[in-house]
Amino acid sequence: MLAFRLTISCQLRKELQRALQSAQRLGKVRLALRILAILALASGQSESQVAATFHVSLDTLRHWKLQFLCYQLKGLQEKKPSGRKPKLTKTQKQQLAALIEAGPQACGFASGCWRSPMIQQLIYDQFAVCYSVHYLAQLLKNLGFSYQKARFVADHLDSEKRRLWQQQTFPQALRLARQQGALLLFGDEASFPQWGTLSYTWARQGQQPSVPTSGKRKAYKVFGLIDYFTGRFFYQTTAERLNSVTYEAFLTAVLAQTQQPIVLIQDGAKYHTSRATKAFFAKHQERLTVYQLPSYSPDYNPIEKLWKKIKEQETHLHYFPTFASLQEKVEHALLKFANAPKEVLALFGFAA
């Protein structure tokens, strides 16, 4: 076929654009691709440019062009394929899983979260296989993925400090604890508000669920430490402010409850690194060695997972009419995990 410029009327262009929006909404990747190619040709791009942009051969592009010239939009519609639909091989599925784990932006998408139509497009671009968007959920489940709520990670993380902590600082702390027969304790604090916290729940479509709240701006706070070797859980509750004084009181109580040396791993909260707290550490340096986590790295502190579990299982979507009812619920949850060291040990998967 001789190359020539394709021109279309304004009315036909509008029809193509409407058909394109419909195809994108319904997940018809191939039809959307063909319409985009025709619109690109009509805008003055050469056949070689369009073929390169859409990763198709010149023969394929010219076939689409001929079908459009003969039958217009109807000529671009997908025909029901004969025989069995093509499927991804085992190797291709492994490659797909690696691409998904790399994230949408690494694969050329603008979004930070995957959506089914994006994965459908990715599979077509990479393997020339077009799955129904409705089947993708099952495919992804078979590959070990699940639909989850994303979390934010600070964009100013110091990746080098995090690498050094994983490869040098934590192994050093672990060796020291083993040499001394010490407890290796990861510490952090949590706050449980009386006004309540919300999570996901099932409800009728169009009927947003409501959960009662006392509306009182008061919270029950907890200092906590969990041991890497045994899963032992130390905690102390308070209705007071979290500061150097209350932190020192908690650590003093832990020292009184134990006879072993303690290797403490903590984050950079102000009262963890204040002048008064540093003086406390110096006073107890014979039994207490302190390591700091890198900034903005809660994922390196397994006790964060413990707080999340307690909130999900015990306080999310709960109504606390009085502060005492909140205290009772939190105390019950803390005692439950204090008596479940195996569950606590399971939180240390990152460093096992």
- Amino acid letter at 276? A
* Average pLDDT of the chain, as a whole number: 87
311 vs 85, higher pLDDT = 311
The answer to whether the Cα torsion of 300, 303, 308, 313 is positive or negative is: positive
Say whether pLDDT at 77 is over 70.
Answer: yes
Residues 123-155 have pLDDT tens digits of 988 998 888 878 888 899 999 988 776 665 555
| pLDDT tens, position by position, 162-189 | 999 999 999 999 999 999 999 999 999 9
Residue pair 33/54 in contact by the 8 Å Cβ criterion: yes
- Say how far apart CA 141 and CA 116 lie, in whole Å: 12
Could you tell me what percent of the chain has a pLDDT over 70?
90
CATH of region 159-200+213-351: 3.30.420.10
Please say if the pLDDT value at position 257 is more than 90. yes
pLDDT at 293: 94
Residue type (1 letter), 137: A
Q: Please determine, for residue 44, whether its predicted confidence score (pLDDT) is greater than 90.
A: no
Within 10 Å of residue 237's Cβ, how many Cβ atoms?
A: 17
* 262: enclosing H helix or E strand: strand 262-266
| Cα separation, 224 vs 202, whole angstroms | 32
Token pair, residue 322, equals 């009085």
How many Cα atoms occupy the beta-carbon half-sphere of 127 within 13 Å? 20
> What pLDDT score was predicted for residue 352?
46
Tokens of 83: 């025989």
Residue 1, pLDDT score: 46
- Is residue 90's pLDDT more than 60? yes
Tell me if 301 sits within 8 A of 269, measured CB to CB.
no
Which residue in 3, 1, 59, 65 sits closest to 35, CA to CA? 65
Using DSSP's 3-state secondary structure scheme, residue 30 falls into helix
Query: pTM value?
Result: 0.57
Inter-axis angle of helices 29-42 and 10-26, nearest 10: 150
pLDDT at 54: 85
Least confident of 2-11, 39-48, 171-180, 340-349: 2-11
